[in-house]
Structure 1
Amino acid sequence: MPNRSLDYLIFDQSRKKLLAWKNHFEIALGISRGLLYLHQNSRLRIIHRDLKASNVLLHSELNPKISDFSIAKSFGGNQTEGKTRTVIET
């Protein structure tokens, strides 16, 4: 992605100043929309389990894209609960 990941922009002091409050707000809304899609609107319900700034990529227009689904958990379309026995950490 042209703008790399979200952590590249928000944790670097010189790049952090380039983002206006409106950009921060739009990025947060985009991430929320992505999670809502994964949890409710996709064919499979997907729980990401590792959402952090480095796993949010930013498109050239700062549209966020959730990435790295390596430890994600998927459920059937009608399933609303699930249990795991494995502790997941990053």
Structure 2
Amino acid sequence: MTARLGAAVFLRQSALERRDGHDVLAGYRDPLLIVCGANDRITPLAVSEEMHAMVPHSQLVVVPDCGHLAPMEKPEEVSAAMRGWLLQA
């Protein structure tokens, strides 16, 4: 997408102000699946681990050899994680 849209678009989107969601996650009590690419440099694994620690009924799946766009990079692994999680719910 960066190649197609250009570096300026990527940089502009990366610099957007984002609302902090800690309060939402801290109060969330329903099942939650968190999928993270092991090599994600935009939302590093430590961020997903922090989210997982905040939500008691969450499941964290780390996709090996994968970056930020897990559904595009590793669709089979992401689909398997979602199927497994949905069957547990």
Same fold flag (TM > 0.5): no
TM-score (ref. length: structure 2): 0.31
Q: Whose RCO is larger (CA < 8 A, sep 6+)?
A: 1
TM-score (ref. length: structure 1): 0.31
Q: Which structure has greater helix proportion?
A: 2
